[in-house]
A and B are shown apart, each in its own frame.
Chain A
Amino acid sequence: MKFIHLDHPFTEQKVRDLKVGDLVLVSGLIYTGRDAVHKYLYDGGKSPVPLRDQIIYHCGPVVMREGKRWKVTAAGPTTSTREEPYQADIIKNHGIRGVIGKGGMGPKTVEACKQFGCVYLHAVGGAAQVLADCVQEVQGVHLAERFGPPEAIWEFRVEDFPVTVTIDAHGNSLHKDIYEKSKQALEKYL
């Protein structure tokens, strides 16, 4: 299986080159953000980190303090559809280039990915240990006191973080395709 390397900085060109079905290894800085962060940004909250050309990871990690350092002990993706009401606006207003999560997203996000040059990268749900192993360093944490540790923005430096492109920057969605095909296939077996 051929892997495509996607390294920080994540430019529009790199992201536009990806297509649905590509296996990608992400390296560099990524930011976690889930329900509270998405609602906060959507409501006009100021981002504590510059998000332009960055990747947001839908993840509520388990992070333990080890002396002066943070250690990530579990960091799988959380279900992305909960951010569907907010994601398109955040892609538009903050210029993010990638969203990592699980389960796929809806038509608003697919359209925003196409229009503004962003991709949805699907991580393997439940693979908390494999994915935590890809986090080389926690570089910082923001909004932890306000939202609690799982809902905070964590800065992860990752290496070869494995994901699959399931929504590309050209209007394609693997989730939509598979749903339609499987629905058709079922007709044959009823």
Chain B
Amino acid sequence: MQNLKVNLIELIRRTSSDLPDDVQKTILTGLKKEAKKSLAEQTLLIIQKNIELAAKKSQPICQDTGSILFFVRVPIGFDALKLEAETRKAVADATSMGYLRQNSVDSLTGRNSGNNLGPGTPSFHYEFWRKPQVDVRLILKGGGCENVGAQYSLPHSGLNANRDLDGCRRVILDAVVQAQGKGCGPGVLGVCIGGDRITGGIHAKEQFLRKLNDRNPNPELDRLELDITNTANRLGIGPMGFGGTTTLLGCKIGALNRVPASYFVTISYMCWAYRRQGFILNTRGKIEKWLY
């Protein structure tokens, strides 16, 4: 597994500097819909130029390279601890190479570890599977958009939201209005209906592993996803909250079972700099395929 660390650094470089095609295409679609010579159009043009420049220069799309979230699927019997150790080394190296900003701060002392390593950073989320390969996906999520995420407990009397899909719709749209442009919109919502306060947050973030142009296999959730995106884009919030029709690039919703007493709707907001990449490795650490 000699090349594993090198491959992981390349994963980080690509994630930080090169936005996936599905995200770029959706931003372009929004750009075409905005009124000519509007603030919204001007803002999306700057965003588009920034995406091109970052890829060309191999430099971070946004200086906030954010939380470093790894989602990994491993075969039974695979040494995931070794993979994790190599990944941590790759993160430290990618930081000194400038692909990642120094973003890991001790919450008690305020000291920055300087290499993105520390308790909880980066974060790893594992699953086992029966394939003889390793699936490694990385999401970089900036602090500005993380700060506008929200969790609602239903019923919510202030928003007239009951424990049904209409109630979910009400709180999700409230989160969009509360976020305005502060999460660096146009954004993408990852939502989990149900679960507990913690599993809901993780499942909401897992929605960001989906491509923007995919469809939810559950027809009810599929309808809700399209409805939220279309409705949000009629609210006039627009890119950066300057007004316009591109408020959301998409909305992805998952559901987990809950205990009878709880009904949470957890919403994670992703900025337009939606940095997601991944690859399939064979068990010797060689890249078989890029995923996005």
Task: Identify the A interface with B (CB < 8 A).
Answer: 1, 21, 23, 60-62, 64, 73-76, 78-79, 81, 102-104, 122, 124-130, 133, 148, 150, 162, 164, 166, 174-175, 178-179, 181-183, 185-186, 189-190
Contacts and interface: CB of A to CB of B under 8 A. Distances in A.
A132 to B, nearest CB: 8
Given A76-B63, A126-B50, A128-B63, 5 more contacts: A62-B101, A81-B182, A104-B241, A125-B144, A126-B47
Interface string B234-247: 11111011110000
Contact of A129 (B59, B181, B231, B241): B59
B163 to A, nearest CB: 17
B235 A62 contact: no
A128 B46 CA distance: 10
A110 to B, nearest CB: 15
Give 6 nearest A-B pairs by CB, closest first: A74-B63, A125-B184, A129-B53, A126-B62, A182-B235, A127-B50
Contacts of A124: 43, 46-47, 50, 240
B142 interface: yes
Interface in B39-64: 39, 41-43, 46-47, 49-50, 53-54, 57, 59-64
A133 B231 CA distance: 36
Interface string B100-116: 01100000000010000
Nearest to A162: B46
Given A62-B98, A126-B273, A128-B61, A178 B46 contact: no
A22 to B, nearest CB: 10
B106 to A, nearest CB: 13
Contact of B241 (A23, A62, A64, A175): A175
A186 B39 contact: no
Contact of A178 (B62, B174, B237): B237
B177 A183 contact: yes
A76 B143 CA distance: 13
Contacts of B231: 186, 189
Nearest to B247: A182
Nearest to B49: A130
Contacts of B235: 182, 185-186, 189
Given A102-B144, A129-B61, A186-B177, A178 B236 contact: yes
Contacts of A23: 39, 42
Given A23-B39, A64-B98, A186-B177, A126 B271 contact: yes
Contacts of B41: 1
A186 B237 CA distance: 11
Contacts of A181: 236
B180 interface: yes
A21 B174 CA distance: 25
B30 to A, nearest CB: 14
B277 to A, nearest CB: 17
B170 interface: yes
A21 B241 contact: no
Contacts of A174: 241-243
B173 interface: yes
Interface in B55-90: 57, 59-64
A1 B37 CA distance: 5
Contacts of B234: 185, 189
A160 B48 CA distance: 18
Nearest to B230: A189
B242 A164 contact: yes
17 contacts: A74-B59, A76-B63, A78-B64, A79-B143, A103-B181, A125-B271, A126-B47, A128-B61, A130-B46, A130-B53, A164-B242, A174-B241, A174-B242, A175-B181, A178-B236, A178-B237, A178-B238
B38 to A, nearest CB: 8
B123 interface: no
B263 interface: no
B269 interface: no
Contacts of A129: 50, 53-54, 57, 59-61
B29 interface: no
Contacts of B98: 62, 64, 73
Interface string B111-126: 0100000000000000
A130 B50 contact: yes
A179 to B, nearest CB: 6
